[in-house]
Amino acid sequence: MQQRVVVKIGSSSLTGPEGGLNREQINYFAAELAGLWREGIQVLLVTSGAVAAGFTQIGYRERPKAVHEKQASAAVGQALLMQAYHEAFARYGHSVAQILLTRMDFSERRRMHNASGTIEELLKHGVVPIINENDTVAVDELKKLKFGDNDTLSALVANMVKADTLAIVTDMDGLYTDDPRKNPAAVRIERVTEITGDVFRSAGGAGSSVGTGGMRSKIEAARIATRGGVPVFVGRATEPGDLLLAVRGDGKGTYFDALLQTVPARKQWIGYYSTPAGKITVDEGAAQALLHGGKSLLPAGIRDAEGDFHPGDVVEVVDLTGEALGRGVVNYTLWQIQASAGLTTDEVQKRMDVPRIEVIHRDDWLTTYIPQGGVNT
């Protein structure tokens, strides 16, 4: 079967320090991606850069912070970005296709199926799908509809199309034990076999002034992709042939191994694709049972609930500090949870008519929290 790779390129690799497109860089990446095609590798490109490309054209002196300014910048910049890609890939005989996605496109199975079908048809004809978030409709205030950065988007796309590799290109040559820009003794981590709390703590803060993602967001993306069975490369590509080396396992960066036991597709949807309809707050005992005990969530451990949900909806579960623990399919309505919170199993069965005693059954749960030693599903 033909190999398939998703490549994510960030704003800092496509634009200048003050914004605006760097045509030389875009031409370089087009050549690299076309080279993968010549090797028989199907390529999907997840690109950032629309806001960074557009804000200087509008007349802003620096990357805007207000939502409407970012949306306007993205609207202008996306057209410039696609024009640049079209011209660059045409040199190698490839057409390009623009695909703009939002979180809602992944949370609704029909829309995700339609997007996947479109991508499959494009790849069959040698067209390069160029994917970006639809910034003009996914606004910052609607956090649940935002990817936050295109690192997460690239991981979701990689899982959706069943990619063989996700390559996240950044201006750093991989993950280090500490920030090498501040600590000269920091050592690059060549391979990560398990993403634990220690791995996250080694990540630095935000990236460049024109981008939104730092190394932490790339580790979060690697976690999503590897739990779906897709190995990940995070690193640098600056010279001809670097992307091919990255795909073949000899790149300038860090490799994240896919889990030996991947998360089932249904749990992937619960944890990463779905849009939670509400939130449940649990006590410390329930949090430990969910994270480390392999248990279901019972009413006794619940302290509060909010939202507008019914049996079959996905909800987020948080601890008493507000830290997100994971997501699951709920078996209760909101009012039933509020009425039964803190009650024992016997008390709930006497007072209420519920289809099953578990508020969230273990089979319908996915942990998203990163404890010190790893993650239970």
Instruction: For residue 372, tell me if it sits in a domain.
Output: no
284 and 241 in a common domain: no
Q: Are residues 14 and 127 in the same domain?
A: yes
Averaged pLDDT for residues 73-85: 93
Interval 320-347 mean pLDDT: 95
Q: To which residue do tokens 């896919």 refer? A: 258
Q: How many domains does one find in the chain?
A: 2
- Same domain for 227 and 355? no
Residue pLDDT, tens place only, 149-194: 689 999 999 999 999 999 999 988 999 988 787 888 889 999 999 8
List Cβ neighbours of 121 (8 Å cut-off, separation of 6 or more).
none
The type of residue at 66 is A
Residue 205 and residue 299 in one domain: no
Task: For residue 328, count CB atoms less than 10 angstroms from its CB and return exposed for 0-12, middle for 13-18, buried for 19 or more.
Answer: buried
Nearest to 176 by CA among 186, 163, 161: 186
Flag whether 305 is in a domain: yes
97 within a domain of the structure (yes/no): yes
Residues 176 and 296 in one domain: no
For residue 140, the model assigns a pLDDT of 43
Which one of 264, 296, 312 terminates a domain?
Answer: 264
Task: For residues 223 and 199, state if they share a domain.
Answer: yes
Residues 250 and 130 in one domain: yes
Sheet holding 302-307, edge to edge: 302-307, 278-282, 314-318, 324-329, 365-367
Q: Is residue 64 domain-shared with residue 137, that is, in the same domain?
A: yes
Who has greater pLDDT, 354 or 41?
Answer: 41
Handedness of CA 283, 337, 368, 376 (dihedral sign): positive
Q: Which domain range does residue 316 map to?
A: 276-367
Whole-number pLDDT of residue 290: 96
**Which stretch of DSSP H or E encloses residue 254?**
strand 252-256
Residues 350-377, mean pLDDT to the nearest whole number: 81
Asked which of 264, 284, 306 is the last residue of a domain, the reply is 264
pLDDT surpassing 80 at residue 147: no
What CATH number is given to the structural domain containing 194? Answer: 3.40.1160.10
Identify the CATH number of the domain in which residue 360 sits. 2.30.130.10
Give the model's pLDDT for residue 244: 97
**Higher per-residue pLDDT: 365 or 198:** 365
Same domain? 120 vs 193: yes
User: Which of 21-25, 50-54, 96-100 bottoms out in mean pLDDT, i.e. has the lowest?
Assistant: 50-54
**Does residue 180 sit in the same domain as residue 294?**
no
Choice among 38-42, 132-136, 165-169 with the minimum mean pLDDT: 132-136
- Report the mean per-residue pLDDT for the chain: 88
User: In this predicted structure, what is the pLDDT of residue 215?
Assistant: 86
d(CA 85, CA 87): 5
Quick check: helix, strand or coil at residue 315? strand
pLDDT of residue 145: 44
Domain boundary among the residues 202, 230, 264 is at 264
Q: Give exposure, 159-196, as e/b (b: 16+ Cβ within 10 Å).
A: bbbebbbbbbbbebbbbbeeebeeeeebeebeebeebe
Looking at the structure, tell me whether residues 246 and 124 fall in a common domain: yes
State residue 276's pLDDT score.
93
